[in-house]
């Protein structure tokens, strides 16, 4: 019952913040446009373009986190918040993405080469999704190193799994 009351309170607050900040939905189109232009500009530059595109992607993800943080902390988002958002968490997001990239470069090819490797890789990605899906909130709630973000997410999920589980299942269903 306590968990249901918590969810009811959280969803009510989320709905109120969403309705009060409905123009923020336009940021999704801005991010999509930035990425589309980034792909076109980066494509001729091969691997360097890929790294540049990763930087752009990290800036967009960090921007989204900052905008969400402003909604949660101040109940409103301004155009100035949006302008400032691209730098706010760039380093944190880049650090986490770099760790995932390195792991995928090492583990991915090894798993795919094994019998049922694709299934094992998908299972590993599901485990990572479950245990590390608190990382975005941890980025804007505190300042941790990239590895500490992953560790803190794992600890948080371990301690709060019953409260976090329904949201994780809903997110997994959307993905």
Q: Is the Cα torsion angle 147, 148, 153, 159 positive or negative in sign?
A: positive
- Mean pLDDT, the chain, whole residue set: 89
Q: How far apart are CA 153 and CA 151, in angstroms?
A: 5
For 78-110, how does the pLDDT look when each residue is reduced to its tens digit (9 = 90+)?
A: 889 999 999 999 999 999 999 999 999 998 888
* Contacts with 97 (C-beta within 8 Å, 6 or more apart), sequence order: 54, 57, 58, 61
Q: Retrieve residue 20's tokens.
A: 């009060």
Is pLDDT above 80 for 3? no
Burial class (CB in 10 A: 0-12, 13-18, 19+), 169: exposed
> What number is the average pLDDT over the span 154-175?
80
> What number is the average pLDDT over the span 25-35?
94
Q: Tell me how far CA of residue 35 lies from CA of 65, 91, 103, in angstroms.
A: 17, 18, 24
pLDDT for the residue 127: 87
């Amino acid at each position: 019952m306590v968990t249901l009351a918590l969810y009811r309170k959280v969803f009510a607050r989320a709905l109120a913040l969403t309705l009060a900040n409905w123009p923020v939905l336009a940021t999704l189109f801005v991010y999509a446009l930035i990425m589309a232009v980034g792909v076109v500009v980066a494509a001729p530059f091969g691997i360097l373009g890929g790294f540049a595109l990763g930087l752009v992607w990290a800036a967009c993800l960090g921007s989204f986190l900052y905008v969400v943080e402003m909604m949660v902390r101040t109940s409103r988002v301004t155009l100035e918040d949006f302008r400032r958002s691209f730098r706010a968490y760039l380093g944190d997001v880049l650090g986490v993405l770099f760790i995932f990239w390195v792991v995928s470069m090492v583990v991915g090819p090894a798993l795919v080469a094994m019998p049922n490797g694709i299934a094992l890789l998908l299972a590993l990605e599901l485990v990572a999704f479950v245990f590390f899906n608190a990382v975005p909130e941890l980025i804007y709630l505190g300042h941790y190193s990239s590895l500490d973000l992953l560790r803190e997410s794992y600890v948080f999920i371990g301690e709060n799994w019953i409260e976090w589980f329904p949201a994780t299942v809903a997110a997994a269903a959307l993905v």
